[in-house]
Amino acid sequence: MKKGQFPDGFLWGAATAAHQVEGNQYNDWTEWEKENADRLAAAAEKKFGNLPNWPDIKIQAQNPHNYISGRACDHYNRYEEDFDIAKSLGHTAHRFSIEWSRIEPREGEFDKKEIEHYRKVIAALRARGIEPFVTLWHWPLPLWVAEKGGWGWRSAPEYFARYAELISKELNDVHFWLTLNEPNIYAGHVYIKAAWPHGSKNPILYWQVLNRLISAHKGAYQAIKKNLPLAQVSLAYNQSYFEAYQGKITNRLLKKIADWFWNDYFLEKINGFSDFIGLNHYHHSRINYGFNRNENKKVSDMGWELYPESIYYVLMGLRKYNLPIYITENGLADADDLQREWFIKESLANILRAIGEGADVRGYLHWSLLDNFEWDKGFWPRFGLIEVDYATRERKIRPSARAYAEICKTNSLIIDSHS
Ligand code: BGC
């Protein structure tokens, strides 16, 4: 056993996103949910039937109601209670998103009441000594933007920058800003897989949207910095660890291409428009004459491989940007909380190792504070440090959250040398 110490001032906490936790949204996702709930329920067995936990999730996954975000966790009304818990767990930072469709439900009409709501959310965090990380767009779009083609609409970045400008003027005590959440995951799910609103398999549009999101980020970055020159602005970007199996030449070549395209293209394009790196990390892809040839020794409830070493490699790769790094998401679906404590500790041990080798990591925000609405999968994947009973909206702290709290409170990790 040895004790690993994190750097002074390291920020600890968790993340959420408006659509997944707040409840009562009205945006392009809510409309899509209504249109697609029956289809998603009918396809569940084909998609998830081979997961080991299928017997446990089957009833929920085959129920169309599961695919409607509805009241979600009712976090919109219960944020104070949720932040009380976060504080009791030693969190010193919290990432959440502002819902564009609430702020600007119709083009050019900004809702003062909703701005006030988020002002109170930020004040509630500050009152508890928790540093806010504000995301401006975590996937749903106002209906008027969606009707014009979403990010396929040429002017979308300008309107997004206008929204960023307004919010950063109104909420001017926020220091950490994230313009976009995972543009690469979003564009892929919408325009390659056609799995999310308003999906179409269209590689040309995919490429246009990805590049439009680059403009959206840059425009929003400039708008925020104009109002708040000292603010720290970035985005939450999803990177995977691509491993070239056995160093074979074909695998190394595929890794180079994947690293360039998936991990670096976007970040390189926004060079100079980013004050830190916001890293969302979940996936390892072992390349052996093809991607995702993983061993899958341990998997989450969603069948995703649990491979905590991967974050070390991703952080090593990020050193070249010479920017501070905040981990803005990292976590797993684990309803029974059997693997979360292990996963958090192993991931943090790997983060410490990366810090020891020069990665300037300054914070860790676990995904997620609460169980929440997992997009096209609905409510059965449970990512929360806090369990939510969707019948009563009651919160229950999972044991892993208490183990994580020990780390947050002591700014250190006991590393079990046997693991
Ligand atoms: C997203 C979250 C999502 C999580 C787990 C990330 O890609 O930002 O919204 O819930 O992964 O799938």
Q: Is 185 in the pocket of ligand 1 (CB under 6 A)?
A: yes
DSSP, collapsed to helix, strand or coil, labels residue 66 as helix
* Other CB atoms within 10 Å distance of the CB of residue 258: 17
pLDDT digits (tens, 9 = 90+) for 120-158: 999 999 999 999 999 999 999 999 999 999 999 999 999
**Residue pLDDT, tens place only, 373-418:** 999 999 999 999 999 999 999 999 999 999 999 999 999 999 876 5
- Average pLDDT on 69-97 reads 99
State whether the beta carbon of 181 lies less than 6 angstroms from ligand 1.
yes
The closest residue, in CA terms, to atom 12 on ligand 1 is 374
Query: Residue range 75-95: average pLDDT?
Result: 99
pLDDT for 418 = 56
Contact between residue 23 and residue 71 where contact means Cβ atoms under 8 Å apart? yes
User: Ligand 1 centroid to 13 CA: how many Å?
Assistant: 16
Residues 27 and 104: their CA atoms lie apart, in Å, by 11
Model's pTM, two decimal places?
0.98
pLDDT of residue 18: 99
Name the phi and psi angles at 127, rounded to 5: -60, -25
State if residue 301 touches ligand 1 by the CB under 6 angstroms criterion. Answer: no
Pocket test for ligand 1, best of 135, 375, 379 (most atoms within 8 A of CB): 375
**Whole-angstrom Cα distance, residue 345 to residue 410?**
14
Q: What is the pLDDT of residues 24-42, one digit of tens each?
A: 999 999 999 999 999 999 9
For the chain, give the mean pLDDT: 98
Q: Do residues 351 and 330 lie in contact, with contact meaning Cβ atoms separated by under 8 Å?
A: no
pLDDT(246) > 90: yes
How far apart are the C-alpha atoms of 161 and 368, rounded to whole Å?
Answer: 27
Give the pLDDT of residue 416. 75
The pair of three-digit structure tokens given for residue 79, joined into one six-digit string: 């944020």
| pLDDT for the residue 417 | 62
What distance in angstroms lies between residue 319's CA and the mean position of ligand 1's atoms?
Answer: 24
**Ligand 1 within 6 A of 28 CB?**
no
| Band of pLDDT at residue 358, cut at 50, 70 and 90 | very high
